[in-house]
Structure 1
Amino acid sequence: MLVALSLILISCPVLAQTWTALANHTGRICQGPPILFSDGTVGVLGTGTAGNNAWDKLTPDIHGNYVSGTWTPMANMDSTREDFSSQLLKDGRLYIAGGEYGTGGATATIYNPLTNTWTSTNPPGFAGAIADANSEILSDGTVLQAAVDDNGGRGCRIYNPVTNSFGPTILALKSEWEASYSKLPDGSILMVDFDAYTSERYIPSLGAWVADSNVPVYLYDAAGETGGSYLLPNGKLFCIGASGHTAIYTPSGNNTPGTWVAGPDLPDNTGQKDAGGVMMATGKILLAASPLSVGEYAGPTYFYEYNYQTNSYTRVSAPGGGTSLSSGCYHTYFLALPNGSVMFGNYQVSDLYYIYTPSGSPLAAGKPAVTNTVQNSCGNYTLTGTLFGGISEGAGYGDDAQSFSNYPIVKLISGSNVYYARTFNWSTRGVQEGTKSCTTQFTLPANLPPATYSMVVSVNGISSDTTLLTTTSCATCYAPPNVTASGISATSATLSWGAVTDAAYYYIYYKKSTDTSWTVGPNNLTTTSVVLSGLTAGTAYMADVWVKCNSGSYLSTRVTFSTASGGALNPNTYYKIVNRASGKVLDVKGSSTNNSANIIQYDYLAGASQQWRVADPSSSGYFNIINHNSSKEVDDPSASLVNGTDMIQYAPNGGTNHQWQIVDLGTGYYKILNRASGLALDDSASSTINGTNIIQYTYGGGNNQQWQFIDLGISAPVPPSGVKPPLGDNNIFTSVKIAPNPATRNTTVIITAKKNTPVLIQVVNAGRRVLLSRRQDITTGINSIALDVSDFASGIYFVVIRTAEKTVTEKLVIQR
């Protein structure tokens, strides 16, 4: 039955650039669709010395970012292939079959990511080559495989991964050449017959193809090509034609035929003459198309987002920032990534991949849910939940390529770090299964630090709510976990750490951050805590807790801490002045250099406005407290005697309201009393809020009136003989640049480093509020760290780059 459909097509301008090139090229031209493995890595096929059999794997960085990920070679495939079938099996192995070009056109092979090996399947048994035929993974995990040269394009078989065998021939009603398979919520597989208006479905419970309704528009072009098809969030199927027409199918939900209506024609008189697309986490379809007026496989290629709710298209920019690509649309492959972005490969054209980040939020209807987590053994778990098969298959193309992603990906998050577990033994590959219970197993990544993680399950880039997972190490020799410094006084600190299974003994090295050599601390320890004594008050320290394992390995974990202040202060150094109640430091509002700017408290960001020195030029026992940034002094304005008066900074004038008695309380903390008023420097009401004004108040002994002075000397660490802790270097960066600057939606921090080191990168506003924070391990040479600033308003910001030894601040201008 055909249903009339009223269409309104909205013409919109090209959207702002949302493409980002990967930081690294593969070095091999893209020759196949990107494949998402179940551990979050991505495999791509390129040209090797023997042809199209060389695979590379992209591993996201420690923050789960694919843009700055790294490429590593995989084992070469056992035959060459191009335009082939591909499916990720329920156990996490990769199935590849056929190929229109290459030596593997009649065979199939399996890649095992655990062993990095390829193994041929048992012979498929088709009467001819599989070639560029379609495939689809069924809900039970078996694969429906078509073959171009079997029974006039009607032959297909079921591959069973458990038995490694193909079943008997199943005949479609009409030819499957160039057709696109689509999985429906009831588990059946729909296709529009080759070069026809008819459609049919494979019904797994019947083991046969059955006729379905006729399509109201012709999807194939004169060369017999068509585009991909995509299950929409509303349960309907959106089919894109090479003819420029589209059609929308509403499933019946059972074995009876569904209904078709004509969809909106592609804009700009374009068509999908073999072309990629993907349903994104937002529910919109990103697709590529080329003008109907050009040759069958000629460019240019335009990119659009299809909105199923408005039944309209929006033109978006092309990878690289232009309005189009010069190559034809059949050169386009897409993949839905676990972080909600989309990966793009320019087939036969480039070795550089791009990431597309859509605007909008992930679709709530597609959110998987975790209802239970059970540990099976060390590092092995079973998750139970819903929608582990997603609400769509993700990316599409048609007969020449499949890169579906509707399976669970487990992410473990700690701070800014993201770790991917490996999932396998999925109970289903069905789509839109609602509240049906499903399961998956997963194993922890190697060398995962034992900790409590925020765990999410992502399917097609849509993530579940967070649940907590506490892990333990399955290794026997590892760096000491959970190292902390506690019980810190002016002269001592207690170091504690978790036990290492294979430990023979532990030993300690420590040093002042300003020292050039390490002190050998307690050694041959069999306990997991030790007291360091004889420390210097008000001083920053670092300590390395080392373990010697019975296996002979030496591993360490570093902790930094500062001793409490005590005794006389040094007028020749700068301090951070820390409130005991809030843990925040004395600061000048907005880093101002103006007279009368308020004194506030704030998280320590290593800014000059948070650094202070003390001076007693007349040796009166009263000190000026002088700001590093402004050279102005902490001031009780107009020598007020009133409790609650806000403190300010002001240029030196010799007044007693600029002078402070700094009294050692014998606990590593000081009270700070104004000479004019006799009142104490005070964090009002023990506030822990950034930006709270600092006041003066009658001294009552509370923690909010006690302050710690921590020396901010610059360190240049050198390891003691016999050990190799990381070296410090004040000039660790050769250069730091930000480009583009000014920026609109994205910018990149480019660091040229002298050595490998972890860095903390933060974007702060003029009020020093941290808006973005991420940790990154950089390596010797040039490092490019992409930052998404699309949510920031126009204005001036600061990018702060910190290592343990050095801090660099660069101005960033954002213009919309």
Structure 2
Amino acid sequence: MSYAQQASWTALKNPPPGGSVINMLLLSDGTVLTQSGDDGQHWFKLTPDAQGSYVNGTWTTTAPMSFPRLYFATNILQDGRVWLLGGEYTGPYFDPNIAPSGEIYDPVKDTWSPIAPYPTEAGARFCGTRNVTSDVQLAAGSPTVTGIYSTDRLTPGWTITGNGIPAGATVLSVDSATQVTISANATLTGPSPAVRFRGIALACFGDDPSILLSGHRILAGNIFNNSTYIYSVDTNSWTQAATKVYNDRSDEEGWASMGGGGVLTYDLFQSVTNNQGYAELYDPIQNVWTPISPADGSANGTLPVLTSPALGFELGPVLRLQDGRAIVIGANQHTGLYKPANNSWSAGPDIHGTLSNPFGAVRGANFGADDAPAALMPNGHVLLAADAGPNPINQNGDAAAGSDIISNIPSTAGLQVTWAVAQADGTRNVIPPGTIITSIDSRHQIHLSSKATVSAQQISLVFGGEFSSPTQLFDFDPDENNISPVSPPLNDPNLPTFAAFVTRMLVLPTGQVLFSDGLGNQLYAYTPQGAARPNYRPVIERVTHNDGVFTLTGRQLNGPSDASAYGDDAQSNENFPIIRLQNSSGLVFYCRSTNWTSTSVGNIPHESVNFTLNPAVTPDVYQLIVSAGGISSAPFTIRISNDDLDHH
């Protein structure tokens, strides 16, 4: 256990071999699977050391997935495999093409396998016109194009342009996962880089939530409308699920596991359109969405609006708390709290941080989770990341044609390098689009990345906005209903200069929170103060053994929550049991869990899970511990004999 009298941050001893980490998943054998931010295709595995320490753990390279993906859905299946779907950006050139394809990773075999793609919607123009950019192989005089990274979106009629491709060529047929036939013969032999296919995509999934349900099923949202779909793991097929109550697409939204197997969503588009908060619950048994919105009388209390068009309709994570309530963290500074016991909402605490530079500070600035992670810690608090996106600063200044200096600003206090700069009236006649602050020179002057096109005196400017640095880490105390900067702060050199959307969190079986800033290759472990309350700990009732497989039976084995959350762009739900053995010498052996009988959270009165022994286990007496969401059970004494190992 890594519970402590005093909270602390510790840098992991070994960096991942793939550079930055942009996704983190806890596997059912206690290892951590991470996606490389260097190419978006390779994955690496962190294994704790012999004493169970992730801080001192080691890295191994795993098989790469079929092609690079960014911002997609993932779930840990009950057989321990990883299910993955879609991608807002895909391929070696990261086109924003919202891929419908998916794949499953088998950590035992270290292989990826394709799954049935997300369903085609009625209406051929559903997903709009998309690009697929790929390096290809051509043969002069042949219409066959090979070496395409994926043809999953291509259909006859798509255009194709690039070196060696005659003008006006189109796709005639899709021959395989990597090959098409086009309407003209290639004019060169060999590789042709960055060939672009363009056409109407008939199916697409990305920027959307998903969640594991009972019965080996996965519920998936829809980026363009309020329909939802269910994927069957057993049959590798899709069926349409219930339509959401409101005219609200699932784009940018996140889902949270609730008690009894329900799924909570905050309907952000419905909320922004009506300037009132809306939400609903999905019942997987009845296959029905139910409104829970004070705005229309389907719930009690007050539910704030938690995002805006200025913040890109982004939203922060949604997490069930240990006491059964749920928190929705806004892209603006607001939060909302839902209490199922009396079907009521209330405004949670706002998020406030400090903006500082050498020439002054803005204290109590609005911070928000305009895409950001959060983690429910064993002590019941929530660790969350937020940035200065909801706190743009309006100031006047003088611009001179051909100069990249803005002078005579009343105060540069709080301004940050890399912040966007735009004219307050929305025009672009003075400040070119895409301009950012490159330096803050004094209390009244800054440098920009672009030169003013014309001169203007005391022009009204907006500095900052969506996805603005710095990123700060905060602690939500549900008992005190308070959000404050986490203590101690993390001394990460990347946080002051980047927005929170690149960061990720994962709760480890030790009770620590693994943190990635999404940019460098240094990961950190946060050890929270205090321990879980006894009534939230998993309870082991008995352990049996049959033909090499052990079965553990107990209560609340999945923990009180999904444990870690981000939302539409990353899903790392950890509501399943992790089993480890510890011998009298302090050596720790994580076992592989499979077939947990419930996917719900909270006080599950009867549940079981299978596990197989770690290959390093030898005959001995062990203390068996089951954990979920970083909350560990009391030790359970188990004797492993030679007979137990004979079937291993």
TM-score band (shorter)? 0.5 to 0.7
Distance of 2:490 and 2:534 partners within structure 1: 28
Task: Report the counterpart of residue 385 of structure 2 in structure 1.
Answer: 288
Corresponding letter in the other structure for 1:164: N
Q: TM-score, normalised by structure 1?
A: 0.53
User: Is it true that 1:130 corresponds to 2:201 in the alignment?
Assistant: no
Question: By how many angstroms is 1:389 displaced?
Answer: 1.4
Distance of 1:468 and 1:476 partners within structure 2: 17
Question: By how many angstroms is 1:227 displaced?
Answer: 0.6
- Render the CA deviation track for 1:277-330: whole Å, top value 9, x for unaligned: 100011100011112223311210111111100111231244336795421111
2:501 is paired with a residue of what secondary structure?
helix
User: Is it true that 1:240 corresponds to 2:329 in the alignment?
Assistant: yes
Task: Report the counterpart of residue 115 of structure 2 in structure 1.
Answer: 121
Corresponding letter in the other structure for 2:208: A
Question: By how many angstroms is 1:449 displaced?
Answer: 1.6
Distance of 2:307 and 2:645 partners within structure 1: 60
8 Å contact from structure 1 (residues 17, 321) kept in 2: no
User: Is it true that 1:68 corresponds to 2:140 in the alignment?
Assistant: no
**CA, structure 1 residues 450+325, in 2 after alignment: closer, same or farther (shift >3 Å)?**
farther
1:271 is paired with a residue of what secondary structure?
coil
- Render the CA deviation track for 1:673-692: whole Å, top value 9, x for unaligned: xxxxxxxxxxxxxxxxxxxx
Q: Select the residue among 477, 483, 501 that pairs with 1:313.
A: 483
Question: By how many angstroms is 1:392 displaced?
Answer: 1.0
Distance of 1:365 and 1:19 partners within structure 2: 27
1:166 is paired with a residue of what secondary structure?
strand
Q: Select the residue among 178, 191, 196 that pairs with 2:265.
A: 191
Task: Report the counterpart of residue 87 of structure 1 in structure 2.
Answer: 75
How many residues align structurally?
452
2:535 is paired with a residue of what secondary structure?
helix
Q: Select the residue among 276, 282, 288 that pairs with 1:208.
A: 288
User: Is it true that 1:441 corresponds to 2:429 in the alignment?
Assistant: no
Q: TM-score, normalised by structure 2?
A: 0.67
8 Å contact from structure 1 (residues 84, 132) kept in 2: yes
Distance of 1:375 and 1:438 partners within structure 2: 16
User: Is it true that 1:382 corresponds to 2:566 in the alignment?
Assistant: no
2:105 is paired with a residue of what secondary structure?
strand
8 Å contact from structure 1 (residues 290, 301) kept in 2: yes
Question: By how many angstroms is 1:475 displaced?
Answer: 9.9
Distance of 1:259 and 1:310 partners within structure 2: 19
Distance of 1:474 and 1:107 partners within structure 2: 45
Corresponding letter in the other structure for 1:220: T
Task: Report the counterpart of residue 434 of structure 2 in structure 1.
Answer: none
Task: Report the counterpart of residue 96 of structure 1 in structure 2.
Answer: 84
Question: By how many angstroms is 1:206 displaced?
Answer: 2.4
Specify which structure has the bigger relative contact order, considering alpha-carbon pairs within 8 angstroms and separated by 6 or more residues.
2
- Render the CA deviation track for 1:221-273: whole Å, top value 9, x for unaligned: 321011111111111111110111111111158xxxx2111111112321111
- Render the CA deviation track for 1:128-182: whole Å, top value 9, x for unaligned: 211121111124442111131xxx3323211111222222254223221111212
Question: By how many angstroms is 1:208 displaced?
Answer: 2.5
Task: Report the counterpart of residue 145 of structure 1 in structure 2.
Answer: 220
1:392 is paired with a residue of what secondary structure?
coil
Kindly report which structure 2 residues correspond to 1:509-528, keeping only aligned pairs within 5 A, or say none: none
Q: Select the residue among 336, 344, 348 that pairs with 1:259.
A: 344
1:247 is paired with a residue of what secondary structure?
strand
1:171 is paired with a residue of what secondary structure?
coil
Q: Select the residue among 468, 474, 478 that pairs with 1:304.
A: 474
User: Is it true that 1:276 corresponds to 2:384 in the alignment?
Assistant: no
Kindly report which structure 2 residues correspond to 1:571-610, keeping only aligned pairs within 5 A, or say none: none
Task: Report the counterpart of residue 36 of structure 1 in structure 2.
Answer: 26
Distance of 1:178 and 1:219 partners within structure 2: 12
Question: By how many angstroms is 1:427 displaced?
Answer: 0.2
Corresponding letter in the other structure for 2:24: P
8 Å contact from structure 2 (residues 469, 497) kept in 1: yes
**CA, structure 1 residues 186+377, in 2 after alignment: closer, same or farther (shift >3 Å)?**
same
Task: Report the counterpart of residue 416 of structure 1 in structure 2.
Answer: 586
1:365 is paired with a residue of what secondary structure?
helix
Question: By how many angstroms is 1:186 displaced?
Answer: 2.4
**CA, structure 1 residues 102+321, in 2 after alignment: closer, same or farther (shift >3 Å)?**
closer
Task: Report the counterpart of residue 344 of structure 1 in structure 2.
Answer: 515
Structure 1 unaligned residues grouped into runs of 5+: 1-14, 478-500, 502-816
Kindly report which structure 2 residues correspond to 1:166-177, keeping only aligned pairs within 5 A, or say none: 166-172=238-244, 173=246, 174-177=248-251
Distance of 2:79 and 2:512 partners within structure 1: 25
8 Å contact from structure 1 (residues 185, 235) kept in 2: yes
1:133 is paired with a residue of what secondary structure?
coil
Distance of 1:409 and 1:126 partners within structure 2: 37
Task: Report the counterpart of residue 566 of structure 2 in structure 1.
Answer: 397
Runs of 4+ with deviation above 4 angstroms: 321-324, 473-477
- Render the CA deviation track for 1:343-374: whole Å, top value 9, x for unaligned: 01122x11221111011112323200111111
User: Is it true that 1:182 corresponds to 2:256 in the alignment?
Assistant: yes
8 Å contact from structure 2 (residues 22, 503) kept in 1: no
Question: By how many angstroms is 1:462 displaced?
Answer: 1.0
**CA, structure 1 residues 310+33, in 2 after alignment: closer, same or farther (shift >3 Å)?**
same
**CA, structure 1 residues 30+134, in 2 after alignment: closer, same or farther (shift >3 Å)?**
farther
8 Å contact from structure 2 (residues 517, 523) kept in 1: yes
8 Å contact from structure 2 (residues 597, 609) kept in 1: yes
- Render the CA deviation track for 1:180-238: whole Å, top value 9, x for unaligned: 21221122212111231221222212212222213531101321011111111111111
1:153 is paired with a residue of what secondary structure?
coil
**CA, structure 1 residues 193+92, in 2 after alignment: closer, same or farther (shift >3 Å)?**
same
Task: Report the counterpart of residue 339 of structure 2 in structure 1.
Answer: 250
Distance of 1:140 and 1:344 partners within structure 2: 32
User: Is it true that 1:21 corresponds to 2:108 in the alignment?
Assistant: no
Distance of 2:262 and 2:631 partners within structure 1: 24
Q: Which protein has the larger Cα radius of gyration, Structure 1 or Structure 2?
A: 1
Query: What percent identity do the matched residue pairs reach?
Result: 32
8 Å contact from structure 2 (residues 7, 528) kept in 1: no
- Render the CA deviation track for 1:524-576: whole Å, top value 9, x for unaligned: xxxxxxxxxxxxxxxxxxxxxxxxxxxxxxxxxxxxxxxxxxxxxxxxxxxxx
8 Å contact from structure 2 (residues 99, 204) kept in 1: yes
2:89 is paired with a residue of what secondary structure?
coil
Task: Report the counterpart of residue 426 of structure 1 in structure 2.
Answer: 596
User: Is it true that 1:367 corresponds to 2:441 in the alignment?
Assistant: no
Distance of 2:89 and 2:327 partners within structure 1: 29
Structure 2 unaligned residues grouped into runs of 5+: 92-97, 122-202, 272-276, 295-301, 354-365, 392-463
Kindly report which structure 2 residues correspond to 1:554-703, keeping only aligned pairs within 5 A, or say none: none
Q: Select the residue among 453, 459, 466 that pairs with 2:622.
A: 453
**CA, structure 1 residues 93+351, in 2 after alignment: closer, same or farther (shift >3 Å)?**
same
8 Å contact from structure 2 (residues 318, 329) kept in 1: yes
**CA, structure 1 residues 53+117, in 2 after alignment: closer, same or farther (shift >3 Å)?**
same
Question: By how many angstroms is 1:469 displaced?
Answer: 1.3
8 Å contact from structure 1 (residues 54, 74) kept in 2: yes
- Render the CA deviation track for 1:630-688: whole Å, top value 9, x for unaligned: xxxxxxxxxxxxxxxxxxxxxxxxxxxxxxxxxxxxxxxxxxxxxxxxxxxxxxxxxxx
User: Is it true that 1:220 corresponds to 2:208 in the alignment?
Assistant: no
Task: Report the counterpart of residue 226 of structure 2 in structure 1.
Answer: 154
Corresponding letter in the other structure for 1:329: A
Distance of 2:21 and 2:314 partners within structure 1: 19
8 Å contact from structure 1 (residues 271, 289) kept in 2: yes
8 Å contact from structure 2 (residues 6, 529) kept in 1: no
Distance of 1:216 and 1:285 partners within structure 2: 20
Distance of 1:374 and 1:226 partners within structure 2: 44
Q: Select the residue among 109, 127, 131 that pairs with 2:103.
A: 109
- Render the CA deviation track for 1:776-816: whole Å, top value 9, x for unaligned: xxxxxxxxxxxxxxxxxxxxxxxxxxxxxxxxxxxxxxxxx
Bigger Cα displacement from structure 2, 328-337 vs 53-62: 328-337
